[in-house]
Homo-oligomer: A and B are copies of this chain.
């Protein structure tokens, strides 16, 4: 059994993050030491690494909680997992499209200012202001 500091080292999560996951019901220490320190075993390490991997895929804690509970009750349907991933993919793709559009606009903006001038004549600010007038 290891204490929270060692789990943090092994997993690469911070101690605070681990405690946060406990509060969020993702990972609970089943045992405490005499001095009330959390004690973890190998299964806990795996569970935390699972969580970390899911987080690296940008899954929310709520989604991960769902995955973990599915994992814990093996009779549930695989479809549920599939559907969740599917939704997540859509969400990510929407975000990519948005950012790509954004990137274009920012680059156009950058072109409109050739430095060495005072803000008075700054093309970027001018453009931002003009966009405003048009919107209005």
Contact = CB atoms under 8 A, between A and B. Distances in A.
Interface string A114-136: 11111111101100110111011
B99 A92 contact: yes
Nearest to A71: B125
Interface in A88-118: 88-89, 92-93, 95-96, 99-100, 102-103, 105-107, 109-110, 113-118
| Secondary structure dominating the interface of A | helix
Identical copies in the complex:
2
Contacts of A125: 67, 70-71, 81
Contacts of A79: 115-116
B135 A70 contact: no
A33 interface: no
Contacts of A67: 125, 128
A128 B46 contact: no
Interface in A42-74: 45-46, 49-50, 52-54, 57-58, 67, 70-71, 73-74
A-B interface, 3 closest residue pairs, ranked by CB to CB distance from nearest: A74-B120, A49-B132, A78-B122
